Structure 1
Amino acid sequence: MARDLRGFLKRLEKRDQLRRIRVPVDPDLEIAEVANRLLLAGGPALLFEQVKGSDMPLAINVMGTVERVCWAMDMEQPQDLERLGQKLALLYQLRPPKQLSQAVELGKALFDVLKAKPRRDLLPPCQQVVRKGNQVDLTQLPLLRVYPGDADKVITLGLMITKDPETKVPNVGVYRLQLQSQTTMTVQWLSVRGCSRHLRKAAERGEKLEVAVAIGVDPLLVMAAATPLPVDLSEWLFAGLYAGEGVRLAQCKTVDLEVPAMAEIVLEGTITPEKQQWDGPAGDHIGYYGGVNEQAPLLRFHCLTHRQQPIYMTTFSGRPPKEDAMLAIALNRIYTPILRQQVPEIQDFFLPMEGLSYKAAVLSIDKSYPGQAKRAALAFWSALPQFSYTKFVIVVDQAINIRDPRQVMWAVTSKVDPVRDVFILPDNPFDRLDFATVRPGLGSRMGIDATTKIYPETDRPWSEELRPDPEMAARVDQRWAEYGLGDLRLDQVNPNLFGYDIR
């Protein structure tokens, strides 16, 4: 089966995870309302076959469950993603192997790199139809307006490709673009992102920045674009490692960039560094309208290519759960081995979906010396670019199940004295869309040491934690069926008992 959006949609349909909507539906608010209800219920992906104002069908909620994100990675369970993370960790920061087994594993990983190198496609499907100049009309795309206060329609799941003007290394990211005219859109991105760095370099050289936006790609490419990488590594190579084979790329028609050959739609254009335009408001992942009264870079598109009968893939942001939160849960598993390599004392980490995917993190450590929790938090903030925007970091002992909010809150409330165990770092570069900060783009971070305290962190002896008698626990296990309780599974918990679903 082809590694493209169409192949993945066929796979979903075979597994009864795709529903076709055959009646006319409006892209102005209606599609988002339908999709959001299905998303909240863990429902299937949707393919709207008749979108008002466009002749293109629209796919949404494609990665609306963690299960479907795993399928996009050719895996069945979230736990399988950590194996991929282990492979990526070997390559993320290469170190000389100290043992034969490590050398063998590194050799396998390097062989995977050779298989993962991108391939050039001379007859790419994404260029079956080519429109240039006056033929380019972005309003013919089935762009969504998601919230009633949005200033205009948006692209939310396009891969934006740029190239470093000096090193020529490409960068691939996913950003929100808002319609301004038939040929222009504004873009919202964070200052640490690769495309933003490229624009600053282009401005220093007095050049325009060439841009391509690929829409309707293999969902696996979206995962690769969302993975924080070192500046000098290509997302295409990482996508090939994800897929086990090189990504098929095509040379653009009018700009010196390569795009996924199997993309449904490709937009080609430029950004003039000094050209900006008012952007927003637009609904954002924080749960508020972002981009209010702000100027943003202006993209001017002069070429549009697409496949025959293209499918437009999109999503939308907002207060979780949304599709981007499902991606974040999967990426959390992939990040874990990489983070352990960067910060060896971290045993595990978790980004709760309710924490807006990356605004709050819980770390567990095997504590062996005083002050270690603070050190782990500081190392976490600097380990990967995305984590520099994490607002709250809670550090707990390795015995705590960091994915169980009951255990985490018990650790916070039973092991933390706020004066001693809470530390705040003021005036850090921050997400401008976070309205909680005192000034736009500048905010603070909080670390919470919820580990058991040792000398000299405290002079008080720490009492022994309550635990069941192990011999009696084993005896009850043996007699469980004898009690007449064999039909009750111990892992079944009534979510209403605690007010939320802990599964």
Structure 2
Amino acid sequence: MARDLRGFLKQLEQRGQLKRISALVDPDLEIAEISNRMLQQGGPALLFENVKGSPYSVAVNTMGTVERICWAMNMEQPEELEALGKKLSMLQQPKPPKKIAQAVEFGKVLFDVLRAKPGRDLFPPCQQVVLHEDELDLNQIPMIRPYCGDAGKIITLGLVITKDCETGTPNVGVYRLQLQSNKTMTVHWLSVRGGARHLRKAAERGKKLEVAIALGVDPLIIMAAATPIPVDLSEWLFAGLYGGSGVNLAKCKTVDLEVPADSEFVLEGTITPGEMLSDGPFGDHMGYYGGVEDSPLVRFHCVTQRKDPIYLTTFSGRPPKEEAMMAIALNRIYTPILRQQVSEIVDFFLPMEALSYKAAIISIDKAYPGQARRAALAFWSALPQFTYTKFVIVVDKSINIRDPRQVVWAITSKVDPVRDVFILPETPFDTLDFASEKIGLGGRMGIDATTKIPPETNHEWGAALESDPDTAAMVDRRWAEYGLANLQLGEVNPNLFGYDMR
């Protein structure tokens, strides 16, 4: 199978997970409305082949289920994502192997790194058609407008590629862009992101920042670009580690940057420091329209593309959305990395309904008083995206953190709000979170829902209720004798907080 968007769409179609739509559809509101209904039902990816105002097809909902994300990453089961996370954790904090088996395992990881190095393509498919500044018209790209209150058309799954003007180190991020004219767009990125840092450095040196936007790439590369883990490796190398082989790159025509050779479209341009335009409002993952912000203006000078390119897109909003499915998959990858950073953590879960990162449930193997609080504080600083997690609930390792019944039981039976709830006021926060009194500053809450030990409490904790093991074993043996073996029982859904993928 080809390592590109087309190969992935072919795989989805072969597995009955792609629906082609030949009816005429409007990229303004209509495509998003159709796609959102499919997302709510866990439906297939969609390929719109007849889009109003554009000669190109639009693919959406390609990563609308965790299953399809696994396929994009050359995996079949979600459990394999955790194995990938273990590999990445070894690279993040390598330790001298103490046993031959550990040395062999680490050697395999280093070999994977060598295999993951990017390749070069001298005749890339993404440059089959080249449109220079006097020919290009961004309106030909079938960008969607998802919500009626949105300010305009947007790009959502584009890889925004920039380079540090001092070190030459590239950054690949997934940022939203708003169409401003037939040759310009604004890019919306947080000040802590790599692209924003590169722009500040360029401004200090009085230079323009070169930018390339790669559209319609292998979804695996999008997953790599969306993985903000603190390892000194490029996103291209991450993508190679994810896929088992290196990503082929191609040099851009007008800027000194490299892009995936199999991209469907590549937009090449520059940002002049200080040149800004109003960006927004747009519907966001919080379930509300965001505000209007002045954002950097990108002026495009060249567009290259494949013949008959396919435009890949998605949109934000209250879960479930594709970004929520991606977050669930990344949750699995993060787990071994988080254990490496915070040794007492046994498992952690980011419920999709909590916007995939606003609330975290972590379980620990509790060994000393105050450990739950320490684990919560360590969690907030472990990875960049956890800076914006508002609520951290810490439970014992015996609790299934993906079962809301067990989590709620732990909170209600083990928590005294005076003793076990702590709040950090006015910490740096997500500017899209309107619940905060001050935009950009917000509080965080930790909840210790573990069993308390002295001196956390001055009284003995009641013994937990458990079945008599001999009686339980006897009932297991006699279950069929009771006539209950084939009884169809209704189940209480244990996945109200998200998806139990175990």
Bin for the TM-score computed over the shorter chain? over 0.9
Deviation at 1:262, TM superposition (A): 0.6
Deviation at 1:499, TM superposition (A): 8.2
Partner of 1:353 in structure 2? 352
Q: 1:371 to 1:489 in 2, by over 3 A?
A: farther
The residue type equivalent to 2:152 in the other structure is: D
Q: Is the 8 A contact 2:403 2:497 kept in 1?
A: no
Partner of 2:195 in structure 1? 195
Partner of 2:118 in structure 1? 118
Q: 1:149 to 1:447 in 2, by over 3 A?
A: same
Partner of 1:317 in structure 2? 316
1:483 aligns with 2:482: yes
Q: 1:231 to 1:81 in 2, by over 3 A?
A: closer
Deviation at 1:393, TM superposition (A): 0.7
Q: Is the 8 A contact 1:394 1:450 kept in 2?
A: yes
The 5 Å alignment of 1:101-180 reads: 101-180=101-180
The residue type equivalent to 2:311 in the other structure is: Y
TM-score, normalized by length of structure 2?
0.97
Q: Is the 8 A contact 1:359 1:389 kept in 2?
A: yes
Q: What CA distance in whole angstroms lies between the structure 1 residues aligned with 2:44 and 2:153?
A: 24
Deviation at 1:95, TM superposition (A): 2.3
Partner of 2:340 in structure 1? 341
Q: 1:432 to 1:468 in 2, by over 3 A?
A: same
Q: What CA distance in whole angstroms lies between the structure 2 residues aligned with 1:71 and 1:324?
A: 16
SS at match of 2:225: helix
Partner of 1:424 in structure 2? 423
Deviation sequence 1:95-149 (CA, Å, 0-9, x none): 2223322221111100110000000110000010011112121111111010010
Q: 1:456 to 1:489 in 2, by over 3 A?
A: farther
The residue type equivalent to 1:164 in the other structure is: D
Deviation at 1:257, TM superposition (A): 0.7
Q: What CA distance in whole angstroms lies between the structure 2 residues aligned with 1:257 and 1:235?
A: 14
> What 5-or-longer segments of structure 1 have no aligned partner?
none
Partner of 1:447 in structure 2? 446
Q: Is the 8 A contact 1:177 1:186 kept in 2?
A: yes
The 5 Å alignment of 1:4-15 reads: 4-15=4-15
SS at match of 1:236: helix
Deviation at 1:230, TM superposition (A): 2.5
The 5 Å alignment of 1:96-495 reads: 96-230=96-230, 232-290=232-290, 292-488=291-487, 493-495=491-493
SS at match of 1:289: coil
Deviation at 1:465, TM superposition (A): 1.4
The 5 Å alignment of 1:19-58 reads: 19-58=19-58
The residue type equivalent to 1:110 in the other structure is: L
The residue type equivalent to 1:472 in the other structure is: T
Say which is worse superposed, 426-435 or 243-252, in terms of deviation: 426-435
SS at match of 1:229: coil
> Structure 1 segments of 4 or more deviating over 6 A?
497-502
Q: What CA distance in whole angstroms lies between the structure 2 residues aligned with 1:502 and 1:379?
A: 25
Q: Is the 8 A contact 1:194 1:231 kept in 2?
A: no
Deviation at 1:231, TM superposition (A): 6.5
Q: Is the 8 A contact 1:405 1:502 kept in 2?
A: no
SS at match of 1:330: helix
Q: Is the 8 A contact 1:133 1:302 kept in 2?
A: yes
Q: 1:343 to 1:295 in 2, by over 3 A?
A: same
Q: 1:21 to 1:431 in 2, by over 3 A?
A: same
Deviation at 1:498, TM superposition (A): 10
Deviation sequence 1:412-434 (CA, Å, 0-9, x none): 11111111111111222211111
SS at match of 1:394: strand
Q: Is the 8 A contact 1:396 1:449 kept in 2?
A: yes
Q: What CA distance in whole angstroms lies between the structure 2 residues aligned with 1:150 and 1:320?
A: 18
Deviation at 1:15, TM superposition (A): 0.5
The residue type equivalent to 2:89 in the other structure is: A
Q: What CA distance in whole angstroms lies between the structure 1 residues aligned with 2:42 and 2:142?
A: 24
Q: Is the 8 A contact 1:156 1:315 kept in 2?
A: yes
SS at match of 1:210: strand
Deviation sequence 1:369-410 (CA, Å, 0-9, x none): 011011111111111111111111111000000001111111
Say which is worse superposed, 412-421 or 95-104, in terms of deviation: 95-104
Say which is worse superposed, 96-105 or 360-369, in terms of deviation: 96-105
Q: Is the 8 A contact 1:220 1:239 kept in 2?
A: yes
Q: Is the 8 A contact 1:89 1:337 kept in 2?
A: yes
Deviation at 1:209, TM superposition (A): 1.2
Q: What CA distance in whole angstroms lies between the structure 1 residues aligned with 2:38 and 2:344?
A: 40
SS at match of 1:262: coil
Deviation sequence 1:174-219 (CA, Å, 0-9, x none): 1111111111111222222111111122222221111111111111
Deviation at 1:93, TM superposition (A): 2.0
Q: What CA distance in whole angstroms lies between the structure 2 residues aligned with 1:231 and 1:140?
A: 38
Deviation at 1:17, TM superposition (A): 0.4
Q: Is the 8 A contact 1:70 1:76 kept in 2?
A: yes
Q: Is the 8 A contact 1:133 1:303 kept in 2?
A: yes
SS at match of 1:395: strand
Q: Is the 8 A contact 1:192 1:385 kept in 2?
A: no
Cα RMSD of the aligned pairs, angstroms, is 1.6
Deviation at 1:168, TM superposition (A): 1.4
Deviation at 1:74, TM superposition (A): 1.1
Deviation at 1:489, TM superposition (A): 6.7
1:77 aligns with 2:83: no
Q: What CA distance in whole angstroms lies between the structure 1 residues aligned with 2:183 and 2:139?
A: 9
Deviation sequence 1:291-338 (CA, Å, 0-9, x none): x23211111111111000000000000000000000000000011011
Q: Is the 8 A contact 2:284 2:316 kept in 1?
A: yes
Q: What CA distance in whole angstroms lies between the structure 2 residues aligned with 1:293 and 1:15?
A: 42
The residue type equivalent to 1:282 in the other structure is: F
The residue type equivalent to 1:493 in the other structure is: E
The residue type equivalent to 2:466 in the other structure is: R
Q: What CA distance in whole angstroms lies between the structure 1 residues aligned with 2:231 and 2:188?
A: 20
Q: Is the 8 A contact 1:213 1:267 kept in 2?
A: yes
The residue type equivalent to 2:390 in the other structure is: K
SS at match of 2:267: strand
State the identity %: 72
Q: What CA distance in whole angstroms lies between the structure 1 residues aligned with 2:441 and 2:334?
A: 26
Q: Is the 8 A contact 1:404 1:502 kept in 2?
A: no
Q: Is the 8 A contact 1:150 1:281 kept in 2?
A: yes
Q: 1:272 to 1:355 in 2, by over 3 A?
A: same
